[in-house]
Amino acid sequence: MSPRWGNMYHMWPGTAAPAPLCASRRGGSRAIAAFKLKGVLMERKIELQEQPALNVVGKRFRTSMDRIQGDIGAGYGALFGYLGEMGEQPGGMPFALYFGPEFNPEDFEMELCVPVNRPLEGRGDIIAHEVPGGPAVVTMYKGPYSGIEPVYAEIDAWVKENGYEYAGPFREVYLNDPGQVPAEELLTEISVPVSRA
């Protein structure tokens, strides 16, 4: 097992877990699509990409903003523990799917997912399935999970201005480890499946 994935098996329990998308993800005024990288103001790149289908093991549940840190820690702990028991390596970076047309911070549905290299069987509340591929609007966010809210307003504006509509759950892919880099250096890829309106 590589050191990178070895750390992933232990990073979620007891660490600062990713915060979910925010209430304004599907609406609100357009935020300024810019961010600073090494002191230089840069425009955020939002683009349409073809996403591949992924085999995953997942854990789907309802939670709230008050419970999410513990739920994510326990969820990823269970998923990586299951993969370890099965002798399987993750096939990519972990991500979360957020379901529903609107976000209610008191009660929302999400699924934690870990890509795998081949179809697996689920067990108990761990499910194994394929996350569909297809066209998606994609952007990158750098910074603490607590500051991600404006990115969803930017995505919403892009979708509307370019004649698309939502066709699936929002996805946050966590590209580095909150236990190993400062919050300002966290990288999150945000995507959402779309179709022509």
Instruction: Print the domain residue range for 90.
Output: 3-196
Beta bridge partners of residue 140, listed in sequence order: 189
Helix, strand, or coil (residue 134):
strand
Quote the number of domains for the chain.
Answer: 1
pLDDT at residue 128, as a whole number: 98
- pLDDT tens track, the chain, 197 positions: 222 233 333 333 333 333 333 333 333 222 333 434 444 444 689 999 999 999 999 999 999 989 988 999 999 999 999 999 999 999 999 999 999 878 888 999 999 999 999 999 999 999 999 999 999 999 999 999 888 889 999 999 999 999 999 999 999 999 998 889 999 999 999 999 999 98
**CA 104/CA 68 separation, integer angstroms:** 13
pLDDT at residue 149, as a whole number: 87
Enumerate helices (H) and strands (E) in the chain, giving the number of each. Answer: 3, 11
User: For the domain that residue 9 is a member of, what is the CATH number?
Assistant: 3.20.80.10
Full-model pTM: 0.78
Contacts of 143 (CB under 8 A, 6+ apart): 35, 183, 184, 186
pLDDT at residue 179, as a whole number: 86
Beta bridge partners of residue 40, listed in sequence order: 37
